[in-house]
C-alpha cells in the first residue's frame, strides 16, 4: 500500500477532534496520505480543539466562511477541492472523513473515475454515503482497545466493549451466501477471498464492529461455519479456509399412539 497516494479530506464541522490520532493511523494502513486537508469556519469557537491537533498531524486547515445561515459551505469547498485533486493526477484514492450524506454523490463520482474511496465517519452516517464508498470505517471502533487474542490453543472471545454490533442472523446469512458464492466442489472457500467479497457487498463490514480484530476469529465464533487451516506447499505460510456447516433437519415429533375404544 506504500505506493498508493491518498487525499484525506476532513469535514471539520462534522467530525469530533477526539478521533484524529487513531483515524490517521487507520488511514496509513491503506496508503500514504500525501494530501491532508480539513475544512471549516476557523473563526467558530467550536473548532478551537482542532488547532493543536492539526499541527501534530500536519493537516492543512482550509478556511470556509458560512455565507448563508442554514447552508453548509464546507461541503461545497470539499467537493470543489476533491475534483481539482482528481484532475491533478497526484493521488490514487481519496479518504472522505464525514458523517454527512451530502458527500454520497462525490464518492460515487470519484469511484467512476477509478479512484479508491475510503469513508470514515460515526455510526450515525446514513447508508447512501456508506455504500457509495469502497470501504467505510466507523470512528467509534478506532477508540476501542484490541480484544483478547487466541493463546495456548484457547478460543478467542471478544472483549466486552461499548457500541459493538450484534452478530445477527442477517449477518450470518450474508457471510454464508458469500461462502457459497466462492466455494469449491467440496464446499470450501479461501477466507481472504470471502473477506474481499463481503467488503464489496457491504462496505461498512468490519470484524472490529463485533469486537474482533480479525475476520478469522469472528468466523470461528459463529457455530454455522467450519474453519480449516492449511499449509502452503513450501510450508512457510498457513492459509485459512471456511465452509458452511450442513443444516440439520428438524427431527419430526413422535406421535403418541391413539387409544382405540372397543
Q: pLDDT for 117-147, tens place per residue? A: 999 999 999 999 999 999 999 999 887 654 4
Same domain, 98 and 167: no
pLDDT at 154 exceeding the cut of 50: no
Query: Are residues 75 and 137 located together in one domain of the fold?
Result: yes
**How many whole angstroms separate alpha carbon 172 and alpha carbon 206?**
13
Average pLDDT over residues 18-33: 92
Same domain, 16 and 60: yes
Question: With bands split at pLDDT 50, 70 and 90, how would you rate the model's confidence at 56?
Answer: confident
The pLDDT of residue 155 is: 46
- What separation, in Å, do the N-terminal and C-terminal C-alpha atoms of the chain show? 85
Instruction: Output the domain CATH number for residue 88.
Output: 3.40.50.1010
Chain mean pLDDT for the chain = 84
Long-range contacts of residues 249-256, Cβ cutoff 8 Å, at least 24 apart: none
pTM for the whole thing? Answer: 0.80
All 3 cell numbers of residue 218? 469472528
Phi, psi of 261 (to 5 degrees): -85, 135
Q: Does residue 91 share a domain with residue 52?
A: yes
Residues 124 and 203 in one domain: no
Q: How far is CA 12 from CA 62, 99, 230, in A?
A: 10, 11, 47
221-254 pLDDT, tens digit each = 999 999 999 887 776 678 999 999 887 666 666 6
Statement to judge: residues 124 and 30 lie in one domain: yes
CATH of the domain at 213: 3.30.420.610
**pLDDT higher for 96 or 73?**
96
As a whole number, mean pLDDT of residues 160-167 equals: 71
Give mean pLDDT, residues 167-190: 93
Please write down the HEC assignment for all residues of the chain: CCCCEEEEEEECCCCCHHHHHHHHHHHCCCCEEEEEEEEECCCCHHHCCHHHHHHHHCCEEEECCCCCCCCCHHHHHHHHHHHHHHHHCCCCEEEEECCCHHHHHHHHHHHHCCCEEEEEECCCCCHHHHHCCCEEEEHHHHCCCCCCCCCCCCCCCCCCCCCCCCCCHHHHHHHHHHHHHHCCCCCCEEHHHHHHHHHHHCCCCCHHHHCCCCHHHHHHCCCCEEEEEEECCCCCCEEEEEEECCCCCCCCCCCCCCCCCC
Query: Cell match 465452509: residue?
Result: 243
Is 150 part of any domain? no
Mean pLDDT of 1-10: 84
Residue 215 in contact with residue 207, Cβ under 8 Å? Answer: yes
- Nearest Cα neighbor of 126 from 151, 107, 111, 148 is 107
- Residues 189, 236, single domain; the answer is yes
- Domain presence at residue 198: yes
Structural domain span for residue 68: 1-143
The answer to whether the beta carbons of residues 104 and 129 sit under 8 Å apart is yes
pLDDT at 151: 35
Q: Are residues 202 and 234 in the same domain?
A: yes
Which has the higher per-residue pLDDT, 19 or 133? 133
Q: Which among 121, 122, 111, 117 is positioned nearest to 135, based on CA atoms?
A: 117
Domain count, the chain: 2
Cα 36 to Cα 10, 29, 32, 221, distances in angstroms = 8, 15, 10, 38
| Same domain (yes/no): 133, 237 | no
> Given pLDDT bands bounded at 50, 70 and 90, which one contains residue 163?
low
> Is the separation of the CB atoms in 241 and 228 below 8 Å?
yes
Last residue of a domain, one of 118, 143, 168: 143
Amino acid at each position: 500500500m506504500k505506493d498508493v497516494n491518498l487525499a484525506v479530506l476532513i469535514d471539520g464541522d462534522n467530525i469530533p477532534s477526539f478521533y484524529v490520532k487513531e483515524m490517521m493511523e487507520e488511514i496509513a494502513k491503506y496508503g500514504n496520505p500525501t494530501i491532508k486537508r480539513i475544512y471549516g469556519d476557523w473563526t467558530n469557537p467550536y473548532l478551537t480543539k482542532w488547532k493543536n491537533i492539526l499541527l501534530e498531524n500536519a493537516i492543512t486547515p482550509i478556511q470556509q466562511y458560512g455565507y448563508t445561515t442554514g447552508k453548509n459551505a464546507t461541503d461545497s469547498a470539499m467537493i470543489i477541492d476533491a475534483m481539482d485533486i482528481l484532475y491533478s493526477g497526484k493521488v490514487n484514492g481519496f479518504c472522505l472523513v464525514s458523517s454527512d450524506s451530502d458527500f454520497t454523490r462525490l464518492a460515487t463520482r470519484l469511484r467512476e473515475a477509478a479512484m479508491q474511496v475510503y469513508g470514515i465517519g460515526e455510526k450515525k452516517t446514513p447508508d447512501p454515503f456508506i455504500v457509495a464508498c469502497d470501504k467505510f470505517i466507523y470512528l467509534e471502533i478506532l477508540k476501542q482497545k484490541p480484544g483478547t487474542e487466541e493463546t495456548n490453543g484457547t478460543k478467542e472471545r471478544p472483549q466486552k466493549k461499548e457500541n459493538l454490533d450484534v452478530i445477527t442472523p442477517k449477518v450470518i446469512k450474508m457471510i454464508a451466501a458469500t461462502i457459497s458464492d466462492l466455494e469449491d466442489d467440496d464446499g470450501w472457500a479461501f477466507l481472504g477471498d470471502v473477506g474481499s467479497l463481503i467488503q464489496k457487498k457491504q462496505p461498512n463490514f468490519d470484524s472490529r464492529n463485533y469486537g474482533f480484530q480479525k475476520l478469522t476469529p469472528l468466523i470461528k465464533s459463529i457455530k454455522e461455519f467450519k474453519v480449516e487451516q492449511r499449509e502452503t506447499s513450501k510450508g512457510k505460510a498457513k492459509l485459512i479456509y471456511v465452509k458452511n456447516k450442513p443444516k440439520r433437519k428438524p427431527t419430526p415429533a413422535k406421535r403418541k399412539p391413539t387409544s382405540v375404544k372397543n
